[in-house]
Amino acid sequence: MTPGVHEDCGIRPDRGAACPAELTPALYREMRRIAARHLSSERPNHTLQATALAHEAYLKLAGFRQAYADNVHFLAVASRAMRQVLVDYARARTAHKRLGDANRQPLWPAAIEMKVEGGAELADLIALDGALASLAAENGVLARLVEMRYFGGMTAEESADALGLSVHVVRHDLRFAQAWLRRKLLS
Amino acid sequence: MNARLAEMFHRLADLPPDARARYFVEHEVDPDTRREVEELLAHDSSDAGWFSQPVGISARAYLDDHVRGTLCGPFRLLHVIGRGGMGVVYLAERADGEVGQRAAVKLLQPGWTEIQRERFLQERDILAALAHPNIARVLDAGHLADGQPYLAMEYVDGQRIEDYCHGLDVRQTVELFLHVCEAVAYLHANSVLHRDLKPGNVLVSASGEVKLLDFGNARMLELGGDPTVTRLRILTPEYASPEQLSGGAVGTRSDVYSLGAVLHHLLSGGSPGEKQPSHSPRELSGDLEIVMQTATRREPEDRYASIEEFSADLRAWLESRPIQARRGDRIYRARKLIQRHGLATGLLAAVVAALLGAGALAWYSSPHDSRVHGLTAKRVTANTPELPIQMAAISRDGAYVAYSDPLGIHLYDTAAGVTRLLEGTAGHVLQRWMPDGSALQTQTLDDSGVAATMIVPAAGGRPELASDGSGFRYSPDRRHRALASADGKQLVVEDADGSRSRELWRSANSVVSGYEWSPDGKALAVVADYGRTSSLEIIDVAGRRKSVLIPASSDRYITSIVWHTTNRIVAAIWERGSGINSEGADNLWQVLLNSRARNGPAELRKLTAWTDSRIRRGSLTTDGRRLALVRTLRQRDVYIAEIGTGGHHAVVPRRLTPDLGDDYPTAWTRDSKAVILTSDRNGSSNVFAQEIDKLSAKQLVHGPGRQILPRVAPDGDDILFYGREARKRGLMRVPVSGGTAELLFETSNVADFRCSPAGPCIIAEFQRDRRIVVSALDLRKGKGREIYREASGRIVTPDISPDGRFLATPSSTKIVVRSFATGSVVREIDVRHGTAPTRLTSLDYSPDGRGFYAGDITPSEARLLYIDLTGEASVVYRQAGSLPQIWGIPSHDGKHVAIMMHTDDSNVYLLDAF
């Protein structure tokens, strides 16, 4: 079990820390919705592919046999799972295709030059994950906010609900967290 | 984390800099905290794409990888083989039957919209009605459980037609091309326009059959609605017809244009009017050239009326019969001549007669500049990298293009084609023309680095310090003027007399990096710069309506804009490159403001397809007909440096290859008099020998394609290289004195190969998993025994020692030396230098075998090091700036080193008849 996800059981102190029940079909549908949000925030759409992503994340979640107090709580946990799925994937992909240095040889025959689609973004994602871990070490709530927003596609209202904060505070904290991460990643 | 940090950040985030400074003082914030808060504020941005982009793209890549196994009717998806504007194509295999039939299955991209779904269904309907041997066949179609349609098509296991044609002569290429014409003629007979004909959409199967693919942009001729505009797809500018690019009415003659452009590309390796032909000019001259010219004329009515007419002339050429186009061609040329010179119509007959009489008159030479959007990007300056052009601006009446370089301000007379330098302007950097066209606004730096704005009379005369009003930009109707605040966070508009000043635009987290008045003076286009991204907004002068035409996104950056006509803005936009190695490039785009007037999002269309260029910020200007810009191209050049005996001290190298192509040195002749290099100066990579005391190089190997990695054979008499003969790839040999190249043996996957003067050679090859296997190489028999393989990680190929006994490979900060005989590591040399080298990227043994020359990259500079066998390193040459690569090849006499370096040349380009 990943410690990070386990901690999520206590995400809302007012609802208790116990996590006994299982993921319901309704929440599974919610998972698909998140996956779709990822693919295009402006164009939410249920697709075959979004289902595949949701399914993977669902399997990770189901392994924990936790209960989710409500949809918002579920979303919060799901954003962590989503982060894991995508970062694991990006790591595996970039491990295969670590050609940055190799590609610096401009004399290589065209036939064996390889283009890695989204290669830069996969690397960016791993870097973001690392920066998020640093942020979490300083302030867990800030890191969770970023995770919820970008990996879970949660709105400020949903994050506020999940963490028991005001929407105003969430907006401010998210802005600060982003500046913090940008500084971390750019310096 | 200090909780005060966050609190201070929130308090100060929306305050102007002076208020922030005041806060720090008033609250006695200690310097460390203050610095940290200021750093964080500097990284404040509202650009959510910065974070959501990597997540979204990774999710898409993940999903593409994980649809494997999904059933689409009788087919099971295997993996992605292609991706188009809105669809993804997977290789699939039949899941239900005994036959192992394969198919290409097309699905919509994740996150598809209803409109895309409709278009997809339209494509499916069009394709389902077609049956032609040269058009990929529909095997199955249906819907998945979630309502997403799929289309299973015949999978063509073949080559792109341009690759297939490399081994063919002109005749064979034209014969093959006629099959493409047949397929398109069949489409037209069935009232279908393809609208996206390009080499990438034509495959040739293993059996030599042509197959036309990708009907994602096809349209029925009779369909109502809007037959012209293509909003959902980015066209390929080289092959799209001018009317397609400008959004005009598109008919069958548009497909004729694209086919003509495809044929031109197949025969010459470029798009019309671009690059050198790979076949000799003799083969392409005469009738065939006229046929291609006729097919790709700018005006649809000047082209062949149908594919059949086009094909008929191609057949006539094959059979050496007279072509139809010749007649029309003379009349066409006569008309052009009259248009250009404004001759009275009465002279038409005389001119036509003259032309008809001049049978031997050569077709006027096609411009060898890069033609885009049916336009010619003409280079009007020829500045070397040492003298870069900073800025160019076209005067309002179009008579002059002003530009500045370190020598000063120059005026280029567009009619006469001559340039003059304005006296006393050394050190001036051009800003813009003054509104009345009589003077130029420039900027100079004084000794303390403070910028001064100067006014330079265009007619010549002493530059004067500008008066206060010079920062304003007046609207074309002269009713208003606009000014950006010094910190760029605010844009103010006032009436032309300075009254009624009001704030039009303000931003806390971005700055104005450019703004332009609309031609009617009613609105301003503003580029807001968020650091790594930027957005394009339009605000009407009353300040009531604001719309975002191009939102900020982390994979593009708007460099410069010009408001061309009321409904059209031309922007230079940087886009993220697709490969790891690609730094991205700037291209010209047009932003069409449709009738719903300035209410975004706008329609974007790419006008150019430049892959390695930068356009300077603020350099786009126009007089309405012409566009001037400063374009910077990164090129690789060979420099020569002397190396003193004993020491390997830094020396000033001189440039050996002053041409405008990329040059890569790889070896020296044994007498140390010439550098062997590959150069793309003819549009293909060829092998040259450049004597170090001469200006021009001798081309050793001719022909199309890539001839790379030239090395000197052990006997010193031959050059060995990796190239292609007919359709075979392999190691080839050509005498150092020049002559015919011959194929030694066929091989692919070559990463590198090297020979020692003592005899032994090695070859490094890629494995499927991208690992490298290094083997002994026998020049007569080919690859011999395997010496070692690189387990994983970084891949840099080894050099062989002059005595042939050792192989050395750079590995980050050390050099690994192996035995040639056994492949075992005999020593690891830790490289020592004052500041440790960050990363070795190349390695070459010095001729005496006592050391190495190694390229080394740090974040701030590229260096060439000499490293002796104990690991002691000294810098031979360094070049500042973040460069992707540097390397150095020592001459055999130990006196020189040939260095490959990157240089940027900036020049002014003019786009005519814009």
- Give tens-digit pLDDT for B219-241: 766 544 344 333 334 456 678 88
Mean pLDDT for the stretch of residues B611-619: 80
Res. B735: pLDDT tops 90: yes
CA neighbours closer than 13 Å in the CB half-sphere of residue A50: 28
Residue contact B54–A128, C-beta within 8 A: yes
- Residues from chain B contacting residue A103 (CB–CB below 8 Å): 579-581
DSSP state of B109: P
CA distances from B426 to B404, B463, B521, B670 (A): 9, 11, 34, 46
Distance between CA A177 and CA A168 in Å, rounded?
14
Residue contact A109–B750, C-beta within 8 A: yes
Query: B579 vs chain A: nearest CA distance in angstroms?
Result: 5
Contact map slice: B 116-155 vs A, CB within 8 A? 144-146, 148
Residue contact B580–A103, C-beta within 8 A: yes
Distance between CA B764 and CA B286 in Å, rounded?
46
Asked if B371 and B598 touch (Cβ cutoff 8 Å), the reply is no
Res. B902: pLDDT tops 90: no
Take residue B569 and report the two structure tokens written for it.
Answer: 């803005």
The pLDDT value recorded for residue B910 is 85
The pLDDT value recorded for residue B842 is 86
Res. A35: pLDDT tops 90: no
Res. B667: pLDDT tops 90: yes
The pLDDT value recorded for residue B370 is 35
The pLDDT value recorded for residue B369 is 30
Mean pLDDT for the stretch of residues B111-129: 78
- The one-letter amino acid code at B538 reads I
**Percent of chain B having pLDDT more than 90?**
17
Q: How confident is the model at residue B819 (pLDDT cuts 50, 70, 90)?
A: very high
Q: Which of A58-62, B207-211, B740-744, B889-893 has the lowest mean pLDDT?
A: A58-62
Q: What is the residue-averaged pLDDT of chain B?
A: 79
Mean pLDDT for the stretch of residues B768-790: 84
Q: Which of B55, B729, B750 sits opposite A38 (nearest CB)?
A: B55
Q: Which of A172-176, B286-290, B588-592, B687-691 has the lowest mean pLDDT?
A: B286-290
Residue contact B636–A106, C-beta within 8 A: yes
B678 touches chain A (CB under 8 A): yes
The pLDDT value recorded for residue B913 is 62
End-to-end CA distance of chain B: 56
Which DSSP string corresponds to B756-825?
-TTS-EEEEEE-TTS-EEEEEEETTTEEEEEEEEE-SS-----EE-TTSSEEEEEETTEEEEEETTT--E
CA distances from B285 to B170, B238, B708 (A): 12, 21, 30
CA neighbours closer than 13 Å in the CB half-sphere of residue B888: 36
Question: For the segment B192-203, what is each residue's pLDDT rounded down to a tens digit?
Answer: 888 889 888 898
More confident residue, B38 or B780: B38
The pLDDT value recorded for residue B84 is 58
Query: What burial letters (b/e) apply to B436-457, b meaning 16+ CB within 10 Å?
Result: eeebbbbbbeeeeeeeeebbbe
Query: A with B: how many residue pairs have Cβ under 8 Å apart?
Result: 196
Asked if A154 and A75 touch (Cβ cutoff 8 Å), the reply is yes
Residue in chain A closest to B635 (alpha carbons) equals A106
Give the residue among B192, B178, B167, B99 at the shortest CA–CA distance from B139: B99
Mean pLDDT for the stretch of residues B720-740: 86
Res. B275: pLDDT tops 80: no
Give the residue among B211, B184, B167, B166 at the shortest CA–CA distance from B311: B184
Mean pLDDT for the stretch of residues B378-401: 81
- Residues from chain B contacting residue A45 (CB–CB below 8 Å): 110-113
The pLDDT value recorded for residue B93 is 87
The pLDDT value recorded for residue B800 is 95
Contact map slice: B 287-326 vs A, CB within 8 A? none
The pLDDT value recorded for residue B656 is 76
Q: Which of A117-121, B112-116, B140-144 has the lowest mean pLDDT?
A: A117-121
Residue in chain A closest to B769 (alpha carbons) equals A96
The pLDDT value recorded for residue B808 is 94
More confident residue, B694 or B499: B499
Distance between CA B750 and CA B767 in Å, rounded?
10
Take residue A172 and report the two structure tokens written for it.
Answer: 């401010």
The pLDDT value recorded for residue B298 is 84
Residue contact A112–B766, C-beta within 8 A: yes
CA distances from B337 to B210, B242, B347 (A): 40, 21, 11
The pLDDT value recorded for residue A97 is 43
More confident residue, B450 or A15: B450
The pLDDT value recorded for residue B754 is 93
The pLDDT value recorded for residue A146 is 92
A174 touches chain B (CB under 8 A): no
**Percent of chain B having pLDDT more than 70?**
79
Res. B529: pLDDT tops 50: yes
DSSP state of B468: G
A104 touches chain B (CB under 8 A): yes
Residues whose CB falls within 8 Å of the CB of residue A133, separated by 6 or more in sequence, listed in order: A143
Strands B429-433 and B439-445: antiparallel
CA distances from B743 to A110, B278, B740 (A): 19, 20, 10
Question: For the segment B83-119, what is each residue's pLDDT rounded down to a tens digit?
Answer: 655 677 888 888 876 667 888 898 876 556 677 788 8
The pLDDT value recorded for residue A33 is 53
Q: Ranked by mean pLDDT, which of A4-18, A170-184, B438-452, B501-515 comes out on top? A: A170-184
Distance between CA B523 and CA B483 in Å, rounded?
14
Residue contact B56–A39, C-beta within 8 A: yes
Determine phi and psi for B420, rounding to 5 degrees: -135, 150
Residue contact B578–A122, C-beta within 8 A: no
Give the residue among B815, B762, B804, B812 at the shortest CA–CA distance from B786: B762
Give the residue among B565, B616, B680 at the shortest CA–CA distance from B405: B616
The pLDDT value recorded for residue B375 is 52
Res. B152: pLDDT tops 70: yes
